[in-house]
């Protein structure tokens, strides 16, 4: 298998030289830039990341500025990217680099692994691209290319399979490891696409690819998930005072969407009577309840099934933070899951007075 992978090195590098995309984080090999981009790209498409990356670097141009940014400001910059623990880990890592390394970015795979939120893939990407260390960077795109080229029917979601494929790549890794790592990731992102979407006619490896030869591109890689998804019903309250302000609250510092601001919500689909009882517990006088819409949001292992209601109240009360719609838009990071209900509903179906 290793000899088979050896055959991909030269055609892959030649292809990348001609077909590499111009991306904002590829303008230099500054480790801060590469690190931020790699963290943003986890679980997020390249096209979606571009605008976030440019804005982030403009406002937080270096490790020092990232280490000093208030968390609320950081989360607002991150708003829309999701998986907010990534942003918090960026800040924690920046604080450690400033405190323990004098602001100098760690320059080895081993030292990068010690940073919060940095796993083997990110450490390998930064170490190889920025510091020419001969290490692999294996993500889902790379696993897909390797599985198809070699014809592997192993489950790529298993850690041991990922480790095995990383070892196979390491055996064929050229001296310009960073360029090779970028090239194979680029191929997976733009040509060797998932499912039946692979563009084999454009692939420089089609001549050595087992999946292409045997018509298996739609079957490989094998991805078998063992964890069942959980569904949770929630009622979302868009509490609006007569002066136009909206109630938000901060979630606990640990757990799902930790530390983010949210619209008040409760587990289950509540009836009108239950919603009014909840408002009474909050110390809020309800004037009118208007149904907004239903929405669904998928987290990694959990689906939220939501019904949202605009609840007009006589005045701001309860232990909430009451903000204007403009403040909500500009200052507070609202989870994507709750955005369908804020700040104003566009359609109202049922009103309870």
pLDDT > 90: percent of the chain: 81
Is residue 38 annotated as part of the catalytic site, yes or no? Answer: yes
- Number of C-alpha atoms within 13 angstroms, CB side, residue 296? 6
Q: Would you tell me the crossing angle of helices 71-78 and 46-59 to the nearest 10 degrees? A: 150
Q: For 230-352, which CATH class? A: alpha beta
- Looking at residue 317, its pLDDT comes to 81
Average pLDDT over residues 117-122: 95
d(CA 337, CA 176): 42
Residue 349 clears pLDDT 70, i.e. is over it: no
Exposure b/e, 256-277, CB count within 10 A at least 16 = b: bbebbbbbbbeeeebeeeebee
Mean pLDDT across the stretch 55-83? 94
| pLDDT tens digits along 129-151 | 999 999 999 999 999 999 999 99
Cβ-proximal residues to 163 (8 Å cutoff; 6+ apart), any chain: none
Q: Which CATH number fits domain 2-134+167-192: 1.20.1260.10, 1.10.3720.10, 1.10.340.30, 1.10.260.40?
A: 1.10.340.30
Output the average pLDDT for the chain: 92
CA–CA gap between residue 25 and residue 50 (Å, rounded): 9
Q: How far is CA 256 from CA 33, 73, 252, 289, in A?
A: 28, 19, 9, 28
Q: For 2, list phi and psi in degrees, rounded to 5.
A: -60, -40
**Is the pLDDT assigned to residue 352 strictly greater than 50?**
no
The pTM of the full predicted model, rounded to 2 decimals, is 0.78
Closest CA relative to residue 170, chosen from 296, 162, 117: 162
Range(s) of the chain covered by CATH 1.10.340.30 = 2-134+167-192
Where residue 111 falls among pLDDT bands split at 50, 70, 90? very high
pLDDT tens across 256-292, in order? Answer: 888 889 999 999 999 999 999 999 889 899 999 999 9
Question: Quick one: average pLDDT of 66-88?
Answer: 92
Residue 9: CA count within 13 A, CB half-sphere: 17
Pick the more confident residue, 196 or 59: 59
Give the pLDDT mean for 237-261: 91
Candidates 22, 38, 71, 133; catalytic one: 38
Answer whether residue 56 shows pLDDT above 90: yes
CA atoms within 13 A on the CB side of 202: 14
Give one DSSP letter per residue of 152-180, joined into a string: --SBTTSHHHHHHHHHHHHHH--S-HHHH
Confidence of residue 253 (pLDDT cuts 50, 70, 90): confident
**Residue-level pLDDT at 288:** 94
Q: Using the 8-state DSSP alphabet, how is residue 88 labeled?
A: H
| Confidence category of residue 227, pLDDT binned at 50, 70, 90 | low
DSSP assignment letter at 222: B
What per-residue confidence (pLDDT) applies to 353? 46
Reference 195, options 121, 140, 158; nearest CA is 140
Q: Stretch 31-53: mean pLDDT, rounded?
A: 94
CA distance 331 to 77: 9
Which residues belong to CATH 3.90.79.10 in the chain?
A: 230-352
């Amino acid at each position: 298998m290793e000899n088979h992978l050896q055959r991909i090195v030269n055609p892959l590098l030649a292809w990348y030289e001609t077909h590499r995309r111009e991306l904002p984080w590829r303008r230099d090999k500054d480790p801060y830039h590469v690190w931020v981009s790699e963290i943003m790209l986890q679980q997020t498409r390249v096209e979606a990341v571009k605008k976030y990356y440019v804005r982030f670097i403009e406002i937080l141009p270096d490790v020092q500025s990232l280490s000093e940014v208030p968390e609320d400001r950081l989360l607002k910059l991150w708003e829309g990217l999701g998986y907010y623990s990534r942003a918090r880990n960026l800040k924690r890592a920046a604080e450690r680099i400033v405190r323990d390394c004098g602001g100098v970015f760690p320059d080895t795979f081993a030292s990068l692994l010690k940073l919060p939120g940095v796993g083997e893939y990110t450490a390998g990407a930064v170490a190889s691209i920025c510091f020419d260390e001969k290490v692999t960077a294996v993500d889902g795109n790379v696993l897909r290319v390797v599985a198809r080229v070699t014809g592997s029917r192993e489950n790529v979601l298993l850690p041991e399979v990922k480790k095995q494929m990383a070892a196979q790549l390491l055996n064929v890794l050229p001296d310009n490891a960073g360029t090779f790592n970028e090239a194979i990731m680029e191929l997976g992102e733009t040509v060797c696409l998932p499912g039946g979407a692979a563009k084999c006619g454009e692939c420089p490896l089609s001549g050595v690819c087992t999946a292409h030869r045997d018509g298996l591109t739609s079957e490989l890689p094998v991805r078998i998930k063992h964890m069942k998804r959980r569904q949770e019903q929630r009622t979302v309250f868009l509490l609006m005072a007569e002066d136009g302000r909206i109630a938000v609250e901060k979630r606990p510092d640990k757990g799902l969407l930790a530390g983010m601001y949210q619209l008040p919500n409760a587990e289950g689909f509540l009836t009108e009577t239950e919603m009014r009882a909840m408002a009474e517990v909050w110390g809020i006088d309800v004037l009118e309840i208007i149904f907004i819409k239903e929405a669904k949001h998928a987290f990694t292992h959990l689906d939220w099934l939501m019904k949202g209601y605009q609840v007009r109240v006589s005045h701001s009360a309860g232990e909430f933070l009451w903000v204007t719609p403009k403040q909500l838009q500009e200052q507070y990071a609202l989870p994507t899951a709750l955005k369908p209900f804020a700040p104003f509903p566009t359609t109202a179906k049922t009103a309870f007075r």
